[in-house]
Amino acid sequence: MAGAGGDDAGSAHCRSPSRRYSVKGATRQPSDGEAAVSASPPFAFTRARIPQGFPLYKTDASAYYSSMPRCIRKGRASFLPSMQAARVSTNLIFTTPQRALKPSMLDLDKGHLTEEVRHFREQLRRYIDKEVRPQAQQWDEDGLVPDATYRTMGELGFLGLAIPEAFGGSDLDACGTVVFGEELGRSGSGGFAASMSDHADMAAPVIVRAGTEDQKKRFLPDIAAGRRRLGFAVTEPSGGSDLTRMKASAVRQGEHWILNGQKTFITGALSADMFVTIVRTDPGSKGANGFSVFVIERGGPGFSTGRKFEKTGWRAADMSEIFFEDLAVPDANMLGEEGKGFHLLMQGLERERLSFSAQCIGMMERTMELTLDFVKNRAAYGRTLWDLQSIRHELAGYAGELSAAKLLVYHAAAKKNRGESVRLETSMLKAQLPQLLKRMADGCTQMHGATGYMHGTEIERIFRDARPFSLGGGAAAVMLDEVAKLL
Ligand SMILES: Cc1cc2nc3c(=O)[nH]c(=O)nc-3n(C[C@H](O)[C@H](O)[C@H](O)COP(=O)(O)OP(=O)(O)OC[C@H]3O[C@@H](n4cnc5c(N)ncnc54)[C@H](O)[C@@H]3O)c2cc1C
């Protein structure tokens, strides 16, 4: 698995192999032509193109916050009447103020991350604060993260974390996966997080693991640069948990494979340019044998999608079915060994579960941030909600649970970087963290009162977006089965 193998055997922390360049002390201002959103080629963030310390994005928190009506800032009046009286848009009122960057509640960066990964976090966080969070509600309503966001994130080097440098990526270690997932989760948009993690950290690593030199050259640079969007199409109507029941199949015909069948609940089905998918290529095989993995490209005869699915949460990520009707896929697009596709996908499970868990951590951190901000400002009984002990205790309890969970995520990443199996840890995390996130999102939405139930507030979106984490990437019950097998 890219960047997660035994590069650093014996290290207690997350370290990557040394680089050909250094980010130390790179605090100079960019020269002409070295803009933050740079021209091609799309090198990784770690190159001198975006030096450490360069204020790529500054938050303009206070200006934005002070533009809100005073009664709302101080929580002195009921929100809805004041909103009507002031005739200000719900977007303004319900958009969370952009605050200056705050360190995480439990800051593990210094002890656990390489300078390179810390730098990656810093830049990604600034980008998400400035460019993603303010647009997240619009994307939720549009049901789509725009292509331009992929391209910008690609150009800034955020989408190549799983891809070797030779193909335009930065090949970060397992802590890179954690930081990427955590910062995506902190965006407060599960749809944005799912779109980006699917593309960069779940589907792309399959090509990295099993692709031939030719396949890597054909696909990876475009993925790292965000020029082409990648989806992961596995689930079928016959069931997502028991994947041995997949029915889509392919038969060889000369230099091609002819695919027939259907995939469903596919994130990005309507927007991705290509997909990593799996079908049965040996009709006589049973169970997990006889499957092969392919990269399929959108379009052409035999490829079609269904209607757009309307979801409760993750609405910024489009979802639909994909149909294969005598779809001809070149043999050159088969990834790995024929008939061993199931095992190929299983090799990526630890990374996927780590990514999902980190996204849950990030979303919980954002939930805490929003809620602390709210209760400390919301007037009640001549004081604020924060002055009520039951409120403080509930939040203090969440802080402890979140911190303990975060430690296990970072521990799992460090262990993975040492080349050890983290199947137990990542299955435990994927089983438990979505439950904790849902509980915390529910409790914190409650603390926001009616405001938290209003469409357009970030906490309302988090409440909806928390739900699918216990489904996507493996249902909670399946994860608990995995844990039980290892006890
Ligand atoms: C928002 C979202 C995005 C998704 N994106 C993608 C994507 O991009 N690509 C893709 O391939 N798939 C995707 N999926 C599908 C997802 O992977 C499946 O929903 C998941 O694997 C569960 O499969 P299922 O929905 O068929 O439920 P089933 O397998 O039918 O299971 C239903 C329920 O039965 C219970 N259950 C299942 N197994 C056990 C067990 N062993 N013990 C006890 N109880 C059990 C669980 O409660 C489970 O939720 C997405 C799903 C969602 C909700």
The pLDDT-based confidence of 373 (bands split at 50, 70, 90) is very high
* Distances, alpha carbon 275 to alpha carbons 190, 294, 473, in Å: 20, 8, 16
In a domain, 56, yes or no: no
Q: DSSP for 383-433?
A: EEGGGSHHHHHHHHHHHHHHHHHHHHHHHHHHHHHTT---HHHHHHHHHHH
For residue 70, pLDDT over 50 is answered with no
Q: Do 412 and 312 reside in the same domain of the chain? A: no
Are 8 and 190 in contact by the 8 Å Cβ rule? The answer is: no
For residues 454 and 480, membership in a common domain is answered with: yes
Using one digit for the tens of pLDDT, what is the confidence trace for 228-252?
999 999 999 998 999 999 999 999 9
Band of residue 73 on the pLDDT scale cut at 50, 70, 90: very low
Instruction: Measure the CA–CA gap between 152 and 225, rounded to whole angstroms.
Output: 8
| Residue nearest to ligand 1 atom 1, measured at CA | 468
Q: Which of 232, 235, 349 to mutate to test the pocket of ligand 1 (most atoms within 8 A of CB)?
A: 235
Distance from Cα 48 to the centre of ligand 1, integer Å: 42
Residue-wise DSSP of 316-373: TS-EEEEEEEEEEEEGGGEESSTTBHHHHHHTTHHHHHHHHHHHHHHHHHHHHHHHHH
Question: Which of the two residues, 81 and 143, has the higher pLDDT score?
Answer: 143
pLDDT averaged over the chain? Answer: 84
Q: Is the CB of 154 under 6 A from ligand 1?
A: no
- Residue whose CB lies within 8 A of the most ligand 1 atoms, among 232, 262, 265, for a mutation test: 265
Residues 359 and 438 in one domain: yes
Q: Which of 79, 94, 109 is the last residue of a domain?
A: 94
Q: Are residues 368 and 313 in the same domain?
A: no
| Cα distance between residue 258 and residue 279, in whole Å | 11
Query: pTM value?
Result: 0.84
**Tens digit of each residue's pLDDT (9 = 90 or more) over 199-229:** 999 999 999 999 999 999 999 999 999 999 9
Contact 355, 194 (CB under 8 A): no
CA distance 19 to 31: 23
Query: Which protein residue has the closest C-alpha to ligand 1 atom 27?
Result: 240
* Domain encompassing residue 82: 61-94
Please indicate, yes or no, whether residues 357 and 479 belong to a single structural domain of this protein: yes
Distance from C-alpha of 280 to C-alpha of 261, rounded to nearest angstrom: 10
| Parallel, antiparallel or unpaired: strands 303-305 and 334-335 | unpaired
pLDDT at residue 16, as a whole number:
39
Residues 410 and 474 placed together within one structural domain of the fold: yes
> Which atom of ligand 1 is found nearest the CA of 241?
29
**Nearest of 178, 173, 80, 188 to residue 137 by alpha carbon:** 188
**475 CB under 6 A from ligand 1?**
yes
Using the predicted structure, report yes or no on whether residue 417 has a pLDDT greater than 60.
yes
Q: What is the structure's pLDDT at 111?
A: 86
- How many domains is the chain built from? 3
Top-confidence residue, 379 or 87: 379
Q: Ligand 1 pocket test: which of 234, 241, 243, 305 has the largest number of ligand atoms within 8 Å of its C-beta?
A: 241
Ligand 1 centroid from CA 360, angstroms:
17
Structure tokens at 467: 């739900």
Alpha carbons 325 and 304: distance in angstroms, whole number: 8
396 and 290 share one domain:
no
Residue 163 resides in a domain: no
Taken in order 39, 204, 192, 115, is the CA torsion positive or negative?
negative
Same domain, 329 and 373: no
Nearest atom within ligand 1 for CA of residue 481:
41
365 and 432 share one domain: yes
Helix 213-225 and helix 147-155: axis angle, to 10°? 110
Q: What is the pLDDT of residue 131?
A: 97
Q: Is the Cβ–Cβ distance between 49 and 38 less than 8 Å?
A: yes
Q: Do residues 203 and 345 touch, judged by C-beta distance below 8 A?
A: no
User: What's the gap in Å between 354 CA and the centre of ligand 1?
Assistant: 18
Just list the catalytic residues.
352
Section 68-76 average pLDDT? 34
Task: Please report whether residue 294 resides in a domain.
Answer: yes
Q: Which is higher by pLDDT, 219 or 12? A: 219
Does 480 score more than 50 pLDDT? yes
pLDDT of residue 300: 86
CA distances to 111, 125, 181, 334 from 410, in Å: 10, 18, 12, 34
Judge if the beta carbon of residue 244 lies within 6 A of ligand 1: no
The finding on whether 278 has its CB within 6 A of some atom of ligand 1 is no
Give residue 471 CA to ligand 1 midpoint distance, Å.
Answer: 5
What average pLDDT does this structure show over 14-27? Answer: 33
Is residue 122 in some structural domain? no
CB of 468 closer than 6 angstroms to any ligand 1 atom: yes
pLDDT of residue 102: 53
Residues listed for the chain? 487
Least confident of 41-55, 191-205, 426-440, 443-457: 41-55
Cα→Cα distances 140→92, 115, 132, 228, 358, Å: 16, 34, 11, 21, 21
What pLDDT score was predicted for residue 104?
59
267 within ligand 1 shell (Cβ under 6 A): yes
Counting from 1 in the atom list of ligand 1, the atom nearest the Cα of 470 is 49
Per-residue pLDDT at 424 exceeds 80: yes
Phi and psi at residue 110, to the nearest 5°: -60, -40
Rg (C-alpha) for the chain, rounded Å, is 23
Ligand 1 centroid, distance to 347 Cα (angstroms): 19
C-beta 264 within 6 A of ligand 1: no
Nearest to 91 by CA among 50, 49, 127, 141: 141
Does ligand 1 have an atom closer than 6 angstroms to the CB of 232? Answer: yes
β-strand pairing of 319-330 with 303-305: antiparallel
CB neighbour list of residue 110: distance below 8 Å, 6 or more residues apart: none
Model confidence band, residue 435 (pLDDT cutoffs 50, 70, 90): very high
Choosing from 271, 465, 471, 485 the residue with most ligand 1 atoms within 8 A of its CB, the one to mutate for a pocket test is 471
Q: What is the CATH number of the domain that holds 335?
A: 2.40.110.10
Q: pLDDT (tens digit, 9 = 90+) per residue, 98-142?
A: 444 454 568 888 888 999 999 999 999 999 999 999 999 999 999
Residue 311, in any domain of the structure: yes
What 8-state DSSP symbol labels residue 261? E
pLDDT at 5 over 90: no
Q: Show which of 292, 312, 344 is a domain's final residue.
A: 344
Ligand 1 pocket member 191 (CB < 6 A): no
For 276-324, how does the pLDDT look when each residue is reduced to its tens digit (9 = 90+)? Answer: 999 999 999 999 999 999 999 999 899 999 999 999 999 999 999 999 9
Q: Is 60 exceeded by the pLDDT of residue 33?
A: no
Question: How high is the pLDDT of residue 107?
Answer: 85
Taking the C-alpha atoms of residue 132 and residue 458, their distance in angstroms, rounded to an integer, is: 13
| 98 contacts 24 by C-beta, under 8 angstroms | no
Using pLDDT thresholds of 50, 70 and 90, give the confidence band for residue 63: very low
* pLDDT higher than 50, residue 13: no
Distance 220 CA to ligand 1 centre (A): 28
Could you tell me if 339 and 365 lie in one domain?
A: no
Q: What tokens appear for 420 in the block?
A: 């050890």
Residue nearest atom 37 of ligand 1, based on CA coordinates: 241
- Given this model, what pLDDT does residue 27 score? 31
